[in-house]
Amino acid sequence: MYTTAGLSNPLAESTLLNNTADEQNIVVGSYDPNDKRAVTSTRASEDLYYIDQDQWIDYTIRFQNTGTFPAEFVVITDTIAPELDMLSFEQGAASHPFSVSFKPGRVIEWRFDDIQLPDSASNEPGSHGLVKFRMRPKLPLLPGTVIENTANIYFDFNPPVITEPSALVAEFSTGVGTHSSEAMLISPNPTTTGFHVSLSGQRTAQLGLRDLHGRVVRVVSVPNERIWVDTAGLASGTYIVEAMSTSGSTFRSVVHIINP
């Protein structure tokens, strides 16, 4: 899937090189065409924001008209996480002409009026769109802080499509024995019943699951190369997975739980 986005400015600019962006994704199997993704400045991790290295968080909200008729307009609303600095907001490129406004309650709204977005059945490549922006976290940012956001995407007057949360966990990259989330494999994620955890080349000695308030909701102490965590009885939401290997190394990542 290949999407090009552009941004125009009636004022004089020092450079025009950052006014367009290309989005290319290889789609394998099923996927949600409406999502929100977060990428940090260093791009060192998909789930961690390194307090001592990262500065910005770049967000991309993607949408697709999977209905049966062209959408006359598309509206996106995003309630910005309290950990982000509203004054740092910088608008990025978008796939179609739009307007952006700020609403009460830390809500940002993008309107794509008269977009006439084709439906995926009649024009699959043309049914996609996106908008980009970036923000800085408020400082000081404590280790373990979770920065979580979801977007609401409205096609005409239909109920909103709510994206899965994009979540980043704040950490220090220089933390002794701390590994990035790429070394921890969580599958499936999101999950409805439970998930497996495995560490890159190591055995897991103990694993804990915390909610966003810091409460420990699950503890598994069965040393193994692959551990199953049952999520029955847990509320839908984002949780922090913390694991310690038999060698003493610590790992941290996030998992999204969805109640069926």
For the chain, domain boundaries: 2-171, 178-257
Instruction: Kindly tell me if the per-residue pLDDT of 99 is higher than 70.
Output: yes
Tokens of 10: 């009636």
**What's the mean per-residue pLDDT of the chain?**
84
2-171 shares its CATH topology with 178-257: yes
Q: How far apart are CA 141 and CA 150, in angstroms?
A: 20
pTM confidence score: 0.69
What does the pLDDT read at residue 223? 80
Q: Does domain 2-171 have CATH number 3.30.70.20?
A: no
Contact 169, 239 (CB under 8 A): no
Q: How far apart are CA 246 and CA 227, in angstroms?
A: 13
Q: How far apart are CA 39 and CA 132, in angstroms?
A: 11
- Domain 178-257: which topology? Immunoglobulin-like (2.60.40)
Q: How far apart are CA 252 and CA 141, in angstroms?
A: 17
- Looking at per-residue pLDDT, the higher value among 123 and 143 belongs to 123
